[in-house]
Amino acid sequence: MPLSGQSPTILHILKNVSLFFLSALVAPLCTYIAIISRIISPFTAATKRIYRHRKWRAISSTTFQPRTILVTGVGMSKGLFLARAFYRAGHRVIGADFEPHGVHVCGRFSVALDKFYKLLTPSAAAGSSRKYTDDLVEIVKREKVELWVSCSGVASAVEDGEAAEAVEKLTKCKAIQFGVTLTKILHEKYSFMENTRNLGLNIPDTHLITSVQNAMKFFYLTFPVEGSTQKKYIMKSVVLDDTIRADMTLLPRPCSSETHLHLSRLNPSPSRPFVLQQFISGPEYCTHSLIIKGQVLAFTACRSSDLLMHYKALPSTSLISQAMLKYTQTYAKKTGPLMTGHFSIDFLLDEFDDTPGKELMQKIYPIECNPRAHTAIVLFANESEDLAEAYLSIFRDHSPSTPKTITLPKPSIITPSTTTGYYWVGYDLVTLVIVPFCDFALRKIDLWTFLTFWVEFVKHVLFWRDGTFEVWDPLPAWWLYCGYWPGMFAVALMTQRWWSRCNVSTTKMFQC
């Protein structure tokens, strides 16, 4: 059970100390794997293919034009993946990212990067976002960057939209990032829903809530008899708030006093708005798309979960995947050619909707949008060169050319060719090995459940792929577990900024 802000301080201290020493305990093994990987890497088929491809493009190709590409967010798995993809495709890659509390991010150690720049995190302070934009423009000019691919986190999405407009205005660099207006519309839950409805696409019943009275009026004037409605709703904060992000309480509660008490705890206000969204009990899916000038060039979908740390692509032949792709394409086409960037929608499937003649696309409901790259992009590992070419199609004069041993980019939408699962070994080690062992020792779970967790871990290690580790580029994974996370746990102890959960792939700590 994750700790909350109300948990005793001693438990938070024990959690951070335990994880710090766990990192120290596995450091020798991680270091050994990194050294062995560096030794054997030149002899592996994957490394030989990468360097053969890069050498051919640099020396033998008559049409290939290497580009200088800036990828921000390389401390996250998605940003690191894209940096590696462009490197594999033969381009010069510049990396940049925030480094909270001075702790180096893992991406700065990748062989894919020619240079790395530390960025200052934009904040509410006056001039902070302007400084962030100015720094990006300066990097673009200094390194003669031709393409900026933004892999922003949730906290800097709007600032990246502002920066994209400035970069394209002040330099010749192209940006894979929505402009500030579109980013704001897609980033905020209620404006996304309103925009989607205006485009003629189906959405769940959604209402903006700015006070407890506002919500109570909706529930008990719309449904005046308590318990008379079958519809249930979930309250979601419009602004970023880690402390209530996982709250999935169904509303209204069995009686009005319970509903009022829960709403009072959330404390909605005009400065702290919420959306009240119809609860749909079907399975949840997440998607990731690359859209350039209103055209979907790459798409994947997979089952979702509370804290996404396991990814397995739905087959492109899956009817639900095709329905979500069609929905995404319709959204992009209706939005128009200004839509260039990463686009990720989370969907719910209403399995109980048996309306005769209703298409599957009308049975899926968007619940939120992420106008930024999704970690599910790691599912394109086998298509990394093709994906890089898709990004570069933003240039009118781009003319891809590859040797016969390299697969040409397909004219159709790029989708993952395999359904191999992706995981992060550090997360699984804690959640599938250590925590179940402790629960079994405390008799919270039985032997069969305990063994099920361990078998799942072994299956992931043997048959799935780690989202950060590559034999030809092992240092980012080594630093992630031997440097970054121990550093963040130490910072948490020193500053007493307690967290409830952490996402290994995005390196984000969810504050209590």
Is the backbone peptide bond immediately before 28 cis, with ω within 30 degrees of 0?
no
**CA 192 to CA 366: how far, in whole Å?**
10
The β-bridge relationship of strands 92-98 and 68-72 is parallel
What are the residues whose beta carbons fall under 8 Å from the beta carbon of 29, sequence distance 6 or more? Answer: none
Torsion of CA 246, 229, 358, 414, to 10 degrees: -10
**CA 243 to CA 501: how far, in whole Å?**
10
Specify the pLDDT at position 399. Answer: 60
Which is nearest to 93 in space by CA: 60, 76, 116, 77? 116
The β-bridge relationship of strands 341-349 and 364-370 is antiparallel
Specify the pLDDT at position 61. Answer: 61
How far is the CA of 119 from the CAs of 74, 98, 100, 122, 372, in angstroms? 11, 5, 10, 9, 18
β-strand partners of 302: 286, 313
Specify the pLDDT at position 51. Answer: 82
- Detail the DSSP E strand segments found in 358-495: 364-370, 422-423, 465-466
- The CATH H-level superfamily of 281-392 is ATP-grasp fold, B domain (3.30.470.20)
Q: Is the pTM of this model over 0.85?
A: yes
Specify the pLDDT at position 3. Answer: 76
β-strand partners of 255: none
What are the φ and ψ backbone dihedral angles of 284, each rounded to 5 degrees? -105, 140
Which tokens hold the place of 84?
């590696």
Specify the pLDDT at position 141. Answer: 98
DSSP secondary structure letter of residue 103: P
**Residues of the chain with confidence (pLDDT) below 50:** 226-228, 402-411
* Contact yes or no for 336/178 (Cβ under 8 A): no
- Detail the DSSP E strand segments found in 128-251: 147-150, 174-176, 206-209, 233-237
Secondary-structure breakdown of the chain: helix, strand, coil percentages, each rounded to the nearest 5: 45, 20, 35
- Detail the DSSP E strand segments found in 92-231: 92-98, 115-119, 147-150, 174-176, 206-209
Q: Kindly tell me the sign of the dihedral angle through the C-alpha atoms of 504, 505, 508, 511.
A: negative
Which tokens hold the place of 66?
């290497």
Domain locations along the chain: 9-36+422-511, 66-180, 205-278, 281-392
DSSP string, 240-273: --GGGTT----BS-SSHHHHHHHHHHH--BTTB-
Residue whose tokens read 């979601």: 236
**Enclosing H/E stretch for 501:** strand 499-503
205-278 with 281-392: one CATH topology? Answer: no
* Contact yes or no for 92/417 (Cβ under 8 A): no
> What are the pLDDT digits (tens) for 127-136?
678 999 999 9
Residue type, 318: S
- The CATH number assigned to the domain with range 205-278 reads 3.30.1490
* Contact yes or no for 301/314 (Cβ under 8 A): yes
Architecture of domain 66-180: 3-Layer(aba) Sandwich (3.40)
Specify the pLDDT at position 47. Answer: 86
Specify the pLDDT at position 410. Answer: 46
DSSP string, 31-62: HHHHHHHHHHGGGSHHHHHHHHHHHIIIII-S
* C-alpha angle 319-312-452 in degrees, rounded to nearest 5: 120
The β-bridge relationship of strands 341-349 and 422-423 is unpaired
**CA 283 to CA 305: how far, in whole Å?**
9
Specify the pLDDT at position 48. Answer: 85
**CA 258 to CA 237: how far, in whole Å?**
19
The per-residue b/e assignment along 261-298, b for 16 or more CB within 10 angstroms, e otherwise, is ebbeebebeeeebbbbbbebeeeebbbbbbbbebbbbb
